[in-house]
Structure 1
Amino acid sequence: MTSARSPLLPDRHPQKDLFVCDIVDAVPKGDMASMEHPVFTLSTKPDMKPRRYQNGDNSIEVSPSRYGLATVHDRDVLIYCISQCMAALNEGRKVNRSMRFKAHDLLVATNRQTSGQGYQLLKDALRRLQGTQIETNIRQGGKEYFKVFGLIESAEIVRETRDGRMQDVEITLSDWVFDAIENNHVLTLNKQYFFLRKPLERRLYELARKHCGAQPKWKCGLELLRDKCGSGSTTKEFTAINFEDHRG
């Protein structure tokens, strides 16, 4: 005896459990771990060189995909996602690792160009963020990791205009980043951060913000500063660095 066939078609497009980013002028926030440690490359060209950073008991290994390592400017995407989540939590709203936002809103909030090239650069950033693999024992939100993961688990363009511009984007953050959100392991960034042109300038601001936020000064040796910045220069080169021409 066969069972009766349902008169209804199956739900071919079930609603995902999404957090929708819709808070205007959310205060920029960055996770503390990647503000202190060199997760992102300073290079403005495809960086295919794996790197390892060791400071005491803390270690981090970063490996590129075929698109290269995630860059300091790619970090804008994570800052936007973290900022939206923290603003929602402050309003008593529920958030989760998967979120949807308007590409245009992210570009405007992070002071990026909204031309066709701006959308293409955002696509490239999503590829690098998903493809860059990290292995670390650095604690994030009270947890210690001994596994390999990407900065984002996945990214999807939900809608795209005929001229190739994204409208809606869905991102699923890595556990590492989301743990920082859930445990409030984040710091507020000045909105002028997005006006800093050079990767090294942004990186130096992140380090200063992380270490000087609760104390009047922070001392750091030149070699350690170079390593924390993620620079591939020698100490002598780093000392005489030209911000205008630096490529990491």
Structure 2
Amino acid sequence: MVGENTKESDRSPLLPDRQEQSDFFVCDILDAAPKGDMASMAHPIFSLSTKPDHRIRRYEDGTGRNYLEVKPASDGLATIHDRDVLIYCISQIMGALNRNIKVSKTVRLKAYDLLKATNRPTDGRGYSSLRNALARLQGTQIETNIVTGDVEQLDIFSIIDRARIVRETRDGRMQEIEIQLSDWVFNAIQAHEVLTLHRNYFRLRKPLERRIYEIARKHCGSKKEWKISLSALQEKCGSASTSREFKRLVCNIVEQDEAHNHIPDYAVRLDGDMVLVMNRHLERPPTTIDSSKTIHLSVDVYQEARKVAPGWDVYALEQEWREWMDDGGLDAPANPDKAFLGFCRKIFEKRGKP
């Protein structure tokens, strides 16, 4: 009889593993800090409109050599709120990279976790808006030669290559989703061309507020302040409003920020036709010795900090380090890089992985 010579002891008691485990990354890092890719923060890829936006938009730099063109699908351009999906995926992948976990550009996530992390409703509206967001992200096409991760893309691609609902409840709500990011986005992640966002970013109501925060995070960063003209800001925002209407919208945001200080990390003010962005973390009372303003870290120190404090957001550690020095009235260290790495090492020794 065929198979009689096969010994029972030679056969594994387990069935063969028929599931492919290496072709996707499972999102399960609940404390991952929100992060956005710098390329889409610098360029107006996402629409600010709450209605379907079917404009084809093309942007060029001053040399005329670099360009970016955004083309909508039948559902319109991906919106600034659709970007939440991208931020969540980037945050999860960066969190995994900081933990030395293998990643891929295909991610599997729980819809509920994404909705909670991005401050979206978890009722039927939330799942419906998420489904629409996935469609717009896949449908919006980009043509560009802007470099991400030392790779020059000269083709047309979607923001995400595809999205697939893996499981769905009986009432039609999504449970698990697989999203395949574009090479353009994934190259930026692998090159660490991302910036940490404040969690209150997801609480900003107005699309223009979110876009202004992104621009401030990208261009002001850890500097004391940064200025931009209203006309240049409108172009960076991708706003379709008239210049007069755009100024009115910015004025409203400035007035609300003056009253409530609600824009995360940065204060936004208006001086004639110039918009002034001020770093809130560098705003100190006159009696405070703010020695950290004169401290400059090298570019390479952040990579070293990731090694001595694995799992930590090194930019958040830098902010904590500077505040610690200011609160103690400490003088600027002779070797800022060495002092910062020592601080990161002590944080990791005391607190372990976050």
Q: Provide the TM-score with structure 2 as the length reference.
A: 0.64
Paired residue for 1:21, among 18, 24, 27? 27
Check whether the contact 1:48–1:69 (CA below 8 A) recurs between aligned residues.
Answer: yes
Query: Would you say the 8 A contact 1:61–1:134 is kept in 2?
Result: yes
Which residue pairs with 1:128 in the alignment?
136
- State the AA in 1 paired with 2:55: K
Q: Please report how far the alpha carbon of residue 197 of structure 1 lies from its aligned counterpart in structure 2 after TM superposition.
A: 0.9
Deviations 1:73-111, CA, capped at 9 Å, x for gaps: 000000000000000000010100011010000000000
What's the counterpart of residue 84 of structure 1?
92
CA contact (8 A) 1:154 1:172 kept: yes
Which stretches of structure 1, 4 residues or more, deviate above 3 A after TM superposition? none
- Structure 2 alignment gaps of length 5 or more: 1-15, 254-354
Deviates more, 1:34-43 or 1:143-152: 143-152
The answer on whether the counterparts of 1:116 and 1:164 sit within 8 Å (CA) in structure 2 is no
Q: Which of 150, 159, 162 is the matching residue for 2:167?
A: 159
- What amino acid is aligned across from residue 122 of structure 1 in structure 2? L
- The counterpart of 1:109, out of the listed 117, 121, 129, is 117
Question: 2-side partners of 1:158 and 1:188: how far apart?
Answer: 29
Match among 45, 53, 62 for residue 59 of structure 2: 53
Q: What CA deviation, in whole Å up to 9, does each residue of 1:189-232 have, x standing for no partner?
A: 00000000111000000000001113222222221110000101
Give the TM-score taking structure 1 as reference length.
0.90
RMSD, aligned α-carbons? 1.5
The whole-number CA distance in structure 1 between the counterparts of 2:244 and 2:152 is 35
Distance 2:62 2:245 in 1: 24
> 1:241, CA displacement in angstroms?
2.3
Match of 2:228 in 1: 220
How high is the sequence identity, in percent, across the aligned residues?
A: 61
Using CA pairs under 8 Å that are at least 6 residues apart, name the structure with larger relative contact order, 1 or 2.
1
- The residue type equivalent to 1:48 in the other structure is H
Q: Which residue does 1:34 correspond to in 2? A: 40
Q: Report SS of the residue matched to 1:167.
A: strand
Letter in 1 for 2:39: A
Kept after mapping to 2: 8 A contact 1:157/1:168: yes
Deviation for aligned residue 1:19:
0.4
**Cα separation, 1, equivalents of 2:239 and 2:46:** 10
Distance 2:175 2:244 in 1: 46
1:177 aligns with 2:185: yes
Q: Which amino acid is the alignment partner of residue 75 of structure 1?
A: R
User: Equivalents in 1 of 2:248, 2:118: separation in Å?
Assistant: 30
What residue ranges of structure 1 are gaps of 5+ in the alignment?
A: 1-10
Matched, 1:145 2:150: no
Over alpha carbons, which structure has the higher Rg?
Answer: 2
Q: After superposition, what is the alpha-carbon deviation per residue over 1:157-195, rounded to whole angstroms, capped at 9, x for unaligned?
A: 000001111000000000000001100000000000000
SS in structure 2 at match of 1:159: strand
Q: Which amino acid aligns with 1:20?
A: V
> Does the CA contact (< 8 Å) of 1:25 and 1:109 recur in 2?
no
Greater fraction of residues in helix: 2
